[in-house]
Chain A
Amino acid sequence: MVIEGNANKVSKGIIKKVAGPLVIAEGMRDANMFDVVRVSDQRLIGEIIEMHGDRASIQVYEETSGLGPGEPVESTGVPMSVELGPGLIGSIFDGIQRPLDDIMKVSGNNLKRGVEVPSLKRDLKWDFKPKKAVGDTVVEGDVLGTVAETDIVTQKIMVPYGINGKIKSINSGSFTVEDVIAVVETETGDKEITLMQKWPVRRGRPYKEKLSPDMPLVTGQRVIDTMFPIAKGGVAAVPGPFGSGKTVVQHQLAKWAEADIVVYIGCGERGNEMTDVLNEFPELIDPKTGKSLMERTVLIANTSDMPVAAREASIYTGITIAEYFRDMGYSVALMADSTSRWAEALREMSGRLEEMPGEEGYPAYLGSRLAQFYERAGRVITLGSENTEGALSVIGAVSPPGGDISEPVSQATLRIVKVFWGLDSGLAYKRHFPAINWLTSYSLYTDTMADWFNSTVDESWMELRHNIMRMLQDEAELEEIVKLVGMDALSAGDRLKLEAARSIREDFLHQDAFHEIDTYTPLHKQFLMMKLVMAYYNSSLEALEKGADIEKIVSLKSRERIGRFKYTETAKVDEEYKNILTDLASDIENAIPKEEY
Chain B
Amino acid sequence: MPKEYRTIEEVAGPLMLVKGVENISYDELGEIELASGETRRCKVLEIDGGNALVQLFESSTGINLASSKVRFLGRSMELGVSDDMLGRVFDGLGNPIDNGPDIIPEKRLDINGLPMNPAARNYPQEFIQTGVSAIDGLNTLVRGQKLPIFSASGLPHAQLAAQIARQAKVRGTSEPFAVVFAAMGITFEESNFFIESFKETGAIDRTVMFVNLANDPAIERISTPRMALTAAEYLAFDKGMHVLVILTDITNYADALREVSAARKEVPGRRGYPGYMYTDLATMYERAGRQTGKNGSITMIPILTMPEDDKTHPIPDLTGYITEGQIILSRELYRKNVMPPIDVLPSLSRLKDKGIGEGKTRADHANTMNQLFAAYARGKDAKELMVVLGEAALTDMDKLYAKFADEFEKVYVSQGYNTDRSIEETLEIGWKLLSILPRSELKRIKDEYLDKYYIEDDK
Contact = CB atoms under 8 A, between A and B. Distances in A.
Interface of A: 16-20, 24, 64-70, 92, 100-101, 103-104, 107-112, 241-243, 266, 268, 270-272, 274-276, 278-279, 301, 303-308, 341, 344, 347-348, 351, 357, 360-361, 399, 401-404, 425, 429-431, 482-483, 485-488, 506, 514, 555, 560, 563
A425 B116 contact: no
Contact of A243 (B267, B293, B325): B325
Given A100-B119, A344-B279, 10 more contacts: A19-B46, A109-B237, A109-B293, A271-B116, A272-B121, A275-B122, A305-B283, A361-B269, A399-B321, A431-B373
A156 B443 CA distance: 50
B408 to A, nearest CB: 15
A425 B112 CA distance: 34
Give the residue among B115, B122, B266, B353 with the most A Cβ atoms within 10 A. Answer: B115
Nearest to A401: B317
Nearest to B123: A275
Interface stretch (B23-31, B204-212, B330-338, B418-426): B23-31
Nearest to B443: A563
B76 interface: yes
Contacts of A431: 370, 373-374, 377
Contacts of A69: 47-50
Contact of A514 (B123, B292, B346, B353): B353
Contact of B287 (A18, A305, A361): A305
Interface string B371-399: 00110011000000100110001110000
Nearest to A507: B443
A274 B346 CA distance: 24
Interface in B278-316: 278-279, 282-283, 285-287, 289, 291-294, 311-314
Interface string B246-280: 00000000000000000000111110000110110
22 contacts: A16-B48, A65-B76, A66-B26, A66-B27, A69-B50, A104-B120, A110-B113, A110-B120, A243-B348, A272-B351, A274-B118, A274-B121, A279-B123, A303-B286, A304-B282, A402-B313, A429-B346, A482-B385, A483-B385, A485-B389, A487-B394, A514-B353
B92 interface: no
B370 A348 contact: no
A109 B28 CA distance: 25
Given A17-B46, A111-B115, A344 B278 contact: yes
Nearest to B381: A430
B117 A100 contact: yes
B112 A351 contact: no
Contacts of B311: 402
A16 B26 CA distance: 11
Nearest to A24: B48
Contacts of B321: 242, 399
Interface in B1-53: 23-28, 45-50
The 4 closest A-B pairs by CB, nearest first: A402-B312, A65-B27, A304-B282, A68-B25
B307 to A, nearest CB: 13
A66 B49 contact: no
Counting contact residues on chain B (CB < 8 A from A), the size range is: 35 or more
A487 B287 contact: no
Contacts of A488: 393
B440 interface: yes
B115 A306 contact: yes
B94 interface: no
B223 to A, nearest CB: 14
Given A18-B26, A109-B120, A483-B388, A361 B114 contact: no
A42 to B, nearest CB: 11
A241 B346 CA distance: 12
B322 A304 contact: yes
B364 interface: no
B25 A92 contact: no
Contacts of A401: 270, 312, 314, 317-318
B415 interface: no
B414 interface: no
B377 A430 contact: yes
Contact of B278 (A274, A341, A403): A341
Contacts of A308: 276, 279
B234 to A, nearest CB: 13
Contacts of A303: 115-116, 118, 282, 286
Contact of B324 (A19, A266, A272, A274): A272
A107 B291 CA distance: 14
A361 B268 contact: yes
Give the residue among B26, B124, B325 with the most A Cβ atoms within 10 A. Answer: B26
A242 B117 CA distance: 24
A479 B446 CA distance: 30
Give the residue among B47, B118, B119, B324 with the most A Cβ atoms within 10 A. Answer: B118
A109 B295 CA distance: 13
Q: Is the interface of A mostly helix, strand, loop or mixed?
A: mixed
Given A361-B267, A429-B345, A304 B278 contact: yes
Contacts, number: 208
A358 B163 CA distance: 46
Contact of B393 (A242, A341, A487, A563): A487
Give the residue among A92, A348, A431, A514 with the most B Cβ atoms within 10 A. Answer: A431
B320 interface: yes
B191 interface: no
A221 B25 CA distance: 53
B224 interface: no
Contacts of A275: 118-119, 121-123
Given A351-B275, A361-B269, A92 B119 contact: yes
B326 interface: yes
Contacts of B268: 361
A569 to B, nearest CB: 15
Nearest to B237: A109
Nearest to B23: A68
Contacts of B279: 268, 304, 308, 344, 348
Nearest to B144: A272
A270 B322 contact: yes
A403 B312 CA distance: 8
B123 A272 contact: yes
Nearest to B24: A68
A163 B211 CA distance: 66
Contacts of A351: 266-267, 275-276
A243 B346 contact: yes
Nearest to A432: B374
Contacts of B292: 109
Contacts of A272: 121, 123-124, 144, 289, 324, 351
Give the residue among B25, B46, B346 with the most A Cβ atoms within 10 A. Answer: B25
Nearest to B392: A486
A344 B394 CA distance: 48
Contact of A110 (B115, B123, B353): B115
A523 B398 CA distance: 35
A169 to B, nearest CB: 39
Given A271-B121, A425-B346, A430-B373, A68 B26 contact: yes
A70 B23 contact: yes
A67 B47 CA distance: 9
Contacts of B350: 243
Interface in B32-87: 45-50, 76
A19 B395 CA distance: 64
A17 B21 CA distance: 13
A18 B24 CA distance: 11
Nearest to B276: A348
B275 A348 contact: yes
Contact of B275 (A68, A347, A555): A347
A278 B317 contact: no
Give the residue among B276, B374, B395 with the most A Cβ atoms within 10 A. Answer: B276
A112 B237 CA distance: 17
Contacts of B276: 20, 308, 344, 348, 351
Given A305-B115, A305-B287, A487-B395, A243 B27 contact: no
